Every structure is written in C-alpha cells, then in structure tokens.
Structure 1
Amino acid sequence: MHKLLRHGLVSQVVALVLCTLVLPAQARVMPDLYDVVEAVPSRGATDRTAATSRGLERIFVRVTGDAAIGSNPQLQPILRKAQQFVQGFRYTSEDNQLYLHLSFDPQAVGDQVHKLGLPMWPNNRPGTLVWMAVDTLQGGRSALREEDNPELFAAVDAMATERGLPVEFPVMDLNDQRNMPLGNLWAQDERAAERAGVRYNPDATLMGRLLEASGQRWQGNWLLIHGGRSYAFDASGSSLEEVALRGVDEAANLLAQRYAVRPQGNGGQLSAVIVELSGVDSFAAYTEASAYLQELAQVRSADLLSVKGDRMRVALTTSVQLQNLRDALALNRKLRAEAESESIDLSGYRAPLGSAENPLRYSWH
C-alpha cells in the first residue's frame, strides 16, 4: 500500500480529526487544499521548519493526487525550503498538545508542480458518497452508521480531507435502509446505489464491505462507481479502521488518475474542442460560464466564437483527451449534457464530436 501508511496511519488520521479543517459534505470545490495542521513539540524555529516540510509534502499529495509523491527525488530540495511557500501560520493548543496551522501559497505550489512536470489535480473534485457494511466475528453483518461509529467515520473523513476528496455519508434512516437494504449493500448492487443516491446526488459512489477474518486480520472489498464506470479493488489490514482508510485512499488514487492534468510541454498535442452552451440568457450567466471555462485546469485557452440568442459557442484549446475534458465538464452542476446529434451528411460523413459541425452541447442552468 501507499506510503501514507508508513507512520501508523490509523492513529495519525484519528488525531487529525482534532485539528484538520473538514469541509462540508456537499463541497466539491476544495478551497482548503493548501491549509494543514501539524502537531509540534514547541514554538521553536527548528520544530517549525520540520513541521513546515511535513506540511508541504501533504499539500503536494493533495494537489498532485499522488500519495507517494514525497518519495520523488525531485521534491526533496523543495521540501527543504518549504518555508518559502508559506503564506501564513499560527499556533493553537488543545489537551496539552501544540499545533501549527500552516497556509501555503497556491500560486507558488502550482508553479512548482508545473516546473517539475508533476500532475495537477484541479480543486473541482467529485463529491463521493461512501456506504460501508461490516461483518464481524461476534456481531455478524450490519450496515455501518456514522452515529454508531463516530470515531471510525471521523477517521475516514479526515483521510478524505488529507487526500483532498470531498465525501459524504448516508444518514442511514428508514429511507436509506429501504433504498439500500443490507443485502444489496453487501452485494455492492449498482442499481441500488443509483436508487439510494438520488437524495444525495453524488458525483461518485464508494461501496465497501469490511470483513473480520480473524482477531488481527480484516479484508475490505470496495467498488467505486463514477461516470458510468466501475472500479473494484481490495484492501487488507489489521483493523476495521485500516481497511476503511485504505478504501478511501485508493478511491482518491483512482479519481486523481482520471482527473489529474499534466502541465503543457510534456509532449501533449493541443487540440481545439468546440463547446456550445444553451441557456446563457443574461450577461451574468455569460460572465459566469465564460469564467468557468477559462479556469478549467484541462483548458489552455477558451475563445468565444459566437453568441446567438441564449447560445454561446466557445473553442477550448486542450491537450487532454476528449473524454477527460467531458469528465471535467460533468463535475459542474450548472452544466447538463444535451443529446448528441448524428451529424451525418448525405455522403455518409460523420462530423467528429467536438467539431464545429458537431460541438459538445450543454445547457447552462
């Protein structure tokens, strides 16, 4: 497993609950990616320097989506001068433990990511609904509820924050229990997940079944459902918490692989994709839609081609594959994909999707 586990993951992540800024469950744009909290023994300069280096490594994990980025030799000189990236810091104390709150400069970190040729995972990320069921030697099989297992869910939430993944947990009331019966949850029934997820409207769903194989051995089977695709993976560990944390960790890895963008200049070929937005019926809507397209990490430039009525056409210059661009556009809840047209002329020629004859069509609402 990844090096996130190298310092005793379970105990550290539980401790982070006390000091990490956890985003609201519905958040999908991650505004606090560049803020971390480190436990320190004193306010001395040496301890602050060491904590700042550790904090910057955590920031690079979140920003690149690579849990093992700290072992990258290119990053070591950067971590040694981590204080150059600090925007601000302060101390707090709780239960006789001193904490250093650090805010890093997003622009400086982003520039370094590009300079080193590392992937950049944009801060608009898939909101993920996490369902978990457990089978223990003593208690048998049951669905896990946050109110019954607050420490476990707090640890999972803290891990998700560490990876920059916005998560939400079902409340497991009668409505959830009806839509996601225990048997369907244990079977990782995708139809049940779709039905039960309607009230939460997640971008992705993560389902885990956690089995106690012996007193010291746990097995986790996970299924991540996102964007019409499913990813199954396993995890093992010595405790329920460990296999739960590994599940969220691996889900973050998979989503980062899908959405992370490598900087221009790494050999990627630029292409133009034509996008047509309908429902842009005011200057405010035009301004908001234009700003959104311009700020996409997958887009190098966004050039307005035309405005007609409530429709605007934009040429997006990108080096990512068309499907990756469509995945990114799908994360904005104000965009709704419209049905694709055949775009076949009398000779049988089919216009490529994303071309001027067959643009990507979305409604803005």
Structure 2
Amino acid sequence: MHKLLRHGLVLPALALLLGVLVLPAQARVIPDLYEVVEAVPSRGTTDRAAASSRGLERVFVRVTGDAAIGSNPQLRPVLQQAQRYVQGFRYSSEDNQLYLHLSFDPQAVSDQVHKLHLPMWPNNRPGTLVWMAVDTLQGGRAALREEDAPELFAAMDAMAIERGLPVDFPVMDLNDQRNMPLGNLWAQDERAAERAGVRYNPDATLMGRVLQASGQRWQANWLLIHGGRSYAFDASGNSLEEVALRGIDEAANLLAQRYAVRPESDSGPRSAVIVELSGVDSFADYTEASAYLQGLAQVSSADLLSVKADRMRVALTTSAHMQNLRDALALNRKLQAEAEGESIDLTGYRAPLGSAENPLRYRWH
C-alpha cells in the first residue's frame, strides 16, 4: 500500500539504459500532506472517530515539522474533534485488513496552526537524495540498493511520507557506482556526493553508513548536506530498519527547523527586506515573480518599489530571520543569487543586507 502512496516520478526505462538525468529530487510542492490512511477494525462511527484523531495528529506532524506535536496540550482538544476537519473519507480492504482513507481540510488545519501559534513548514520542500552503505557481520561492506532490500526501502519511503519529506534513492547502476565508489560513500565524501548527484539534481543529500555491531545491535552515522551546510548525527537500534528510519526522521527534523515559519512571538518583529530581481523581461515574468514572492510562507506582503529595464525591486515584509528568508528564496530554484553589490561608503559604513542601499540580489529564471 505504501508503494501506491509514494512520492516521486516514474523512472523511465530508457533513462536507465542511457544513464541520463533521472528521478530529479528538486524542491517539490507536496500535494497530499493532508491525506492519511488508517487501519481500522470496523466501519463503525467510534472506530472512525478514533482513526480521525490519529490521522489528524499525523497531519499536524507533517504540517508543522514537529514529530512530537501530538504531545502539545494545546492540540489535544483539536484532535478530540478531528472529524470536524475531515473533508472526505472512504474505505478500502487489503489482505483482510480494512483501511480508512481520510482527507483533511487544509485551510481548517492551517487556521488552527496559526491560532495555536505553531510552526508551519511550507509544502514546498527540499527533494532529498538518500545514499546508504552497510557493513554486516555476514555480508561485509556494500552499498545498499533498493532492488536488493525492497522492504527496507519501502519502510524508509513510508517514514518520509509520514514526515512530508520528498525522498529519492539512487538507482545504483554503473554510472552511480563509478561516481560514488563504495569507499567514498562509506567515508561520506561530500565531493563525491556532489559529483554523483549531478544526474539527480537534489536539493539535499543524505548519506548513511550503517554498521552491524552485533547480532541485534546496529549503529549508523548520518550526514545531511544542504544549502552549503552539513549536519552530522548518529543513530543506534536493534535493526537495520530502525536506524535507517531514524536517519529519515532526523533529516526531516533538521530541514523543518530550517524552513518552518515560526510564530511571530518567536521570530521577532516584522521588517522590510528589499529584494532586487534581474532577468524580468516581460509582463509574464513580472506577474510570475510577484506571485512567487507573495506566495512564500515566510512573507506576509510583497510590495513593488520600482521597475527599471529588466530589474524590479520589491519590499518583502517578513518576521523570518535573514538566513531563513534567503533559504526560502533559493529553495525552488526560480531565483539564482547574484553577487552582493558594493555597499561601503566613504566613511566605511556598510549598509545592512536587505536594505535599499544593499538589497538581496537575484536573477529570475
């Protein structure tokens, strides 16, 4: 059933033969954050109410990026009335198990997120390419391939869906093996990851090396590479699957921390940030660029200041920190950062980044 829910593009057979760009892992708008499937014992109203509560909690985890959001006492009354947020439901059966498919109202959930001052992780999220190597007591060291461990990869896929994180796995054909040799993967070589990722063009790369320490003891070292930064973390558990799922889970935590929009009380006062876009060559470009900026969850308003030739200046009202805003602007690659202008006057004063004298500069694609 998880395979039916999997995010991502279908991998063309021709691409496998030619070794061209396949399964791109770029930033994606996740369409089904508000849809869940719950196993239920019956079609009764009591079982449906309980499943709705569990399902709505899963939706809040995806939307806020907080895996522990269900323990928030503010959310408890909302979960108890979960059926009020259900937009539609249906039942299905598989292997003698009954499932309830639930679809929740995105606007109603969003309203509660704002009302309760919870973080909001926008649905435009970094596509993440996952590489894994394992060292077992019997088999030794090897790169993990989806075709050799389908149940493990399905479980990782399911965890990614639970967290609302779009993930893909390399096909591990000869091209991948040449660009990402086992030794480089085990060493978590960032240069090799960049080289091997060219055909997939991911926003983020997650590299894991897993060691079987004993019959039921596994240890993993993980490295998340994204936006010019690297985040290392460890995991341990009683099975390969356990430490693999923890890798996906923690990667989602780290990316949510980077991109989630925090309540104003946490983010500080709103301020205006000046952004200058070049490459705006037509009215269609202007309309699309304006809609893109206005649609950012980190931005409450985008006001046009000026248009000159192919350049437009916009004042973005935001409560996000500057680095968080710049991360958001770059995420879906509509904007390419340009070099900062000369912003030092004769007195040696440097104008603040994002000011009228020193705007954030991007080229529109």
| Same-fold call, TM cutoff 0.5 | yes
- The letter for the 2-side match of 1:154 is A
Query: Structure 1 runs of 4+ off > 4 angstroms?
Result: none
Q: Alignment partner of 1:146: what SS?
A: coil
Instruction: Determine the structure 1 residue equivalent to 2:2.
Output: 17
Q: Alignment partner of 2:252: what SS?
A: helix
Instruction: Determine the structure 1 residue equivalent to 2:334.
Output: 334
Instruction: Determine the structure 2 residue equivalent to 1:176.
Output: 176
User: Are the aligned partners of 2:28 and 2:332 in contact in 1 as well (CA < 8 Å)?
Assistant: no
Return 5+ residue gaps in structure 2 as ranges.
10-22
- Does the C-alpha gap of structure 1 residues 49 and 334 become closer, same or farther in structure 2, counting only changes over 3 Å? same
Alpha-carbon distance, 1:19 to partner: 6.0
User: Are the aligned partners of 1:20 and 1:37 in contact in 2 as well (CA < 8 Å)?
Assistant: no
Q: Alignment partner of 1:261: what SS?
A: coil
Instruction: Determine the structure 1 residue equivalent to 2:78.
Output: 78
Q: Alignment partner of 1:73: what SS?
A: coil
Instruction: Determine the structure 2 residue equivalent to 1:278.
Output: 278
- Map Cα deviations across residues 300-334 of structure 1 (whole Å, 9 max, x no partner): 11111111122111100111111110011110222
Alpha-carbon distance, 1:264 to partner: 3.0
Q: How many pairs were matched up?
A: 350
- The letter for the 1-side match of 2:2 is V
Distance 2:362 2:281 in 1: 14
Matched, 1:148 2:148: yes
- Map Cα deviations across residues 208-244 of structure 1 (whole Å, 9 max, x no partner): 0011111111111100111111111110111111100
User: Are the aligned partners of 2:278 and 2:362 in contact in 1 as well (CA < 8 Å)?
Assistant: yes
Instruction: Determine the structure 2 residue equivalent to 1:302.
Output: 302
- Map Cα deviations across residues 106-136 of structure 1 (whole Å, 9 max, x no partner): 1111110111111111111111110000000
- Map Cα deviations across residues 145-203 of structure 1 (whole Å, 9 max, x no partner): 11111111111111101100011111111111111110010010111111111111111
Q: Alignment partner of 1:74: what SS?
A: coil
- The letter for the 2-side match of 1:172 is M
Distance 1:295 1:127 in 2: 19
Distance 2:103 2:154 in 1: 23
Greater displacement, 231-240 / 18-27: 18-27
Matched, 1:349 2:349: yes
User: Are the aligned partners of 2:6 and 2:157 in contact in 1 as well (CA < 8 Å)?
Assistant: no
Across the aligned residues of Structure 1 and Structure 2, the Cα RMSD in angstroms comes to 1.4
Distance 2:200 2:341 in 1: 31
Distance 1:306 1:294 in 2: 16
Instruction: Determine the structure 1 residue equivalent to 2:14.
Output: none
Instruction: Determine the structure 2 residue equivalent to 1:132.
Output: 132
Identity %, equivalent residues: 85
User: Are the aligned partners of 1:273 and 1:355 in contact in 2 as well (CA < 8 Å)?
Assistant: yes
- The letter for the 2-side match of 1:135 is D
Greater displacement, 277-286 / 134-143: 277-286
- The letter for the 1-side match of 2:59 is I
- Map Cα deviations across residues 271-298 of structure 1 (whole Å, 9 max, x no partner): 1100111111122221111111111111
- The letter for the 1-side match of 2:291 is A
- Does the C-alpha gap of structure 1 residues 34 and 21 become closer, same or farther in structure 2, counting only changes over 3 Å? farther
Instruction: Determine the structure 2 residue equivalent to 1:48.
Output: 48
Distance 2:102 2:167 in 1: 23
Distance 2:211 2:266 in 1: 43
Instruction: Determine the structure 1 residue equivalent to 2:263.
Output: 263
Instruction: Determine the structure 1 residue equivalent to 2:105.
Output: 105
- The letter for the 2-side match of 1:108 is A
Q: Alignment partner of 2:87: what SS?
A: strand
Distance 2:37 2:88 in 1: 12
User: Are the aligned partners of 2:127 and 2:204 in contact in 1 as well (CA < 8 Å)?
Assistant: yes
- The letter for the 1-side match of 2:218 is W
- The letter for the 2-side match of 1:97 is Q
Distance 2:4 2:120 in 1: 26
User: Are the aligned partners of 2:170 and 2:176 in contact in 1 as well (CA < 8 Å)?
Assistant: yes
Return 5+ residue gaps in structure 1 as ranges.
1-15
Alpha-carbon distance, 1:266 to partner: 4.8
Distance 2:43 2:36 in 1: 16
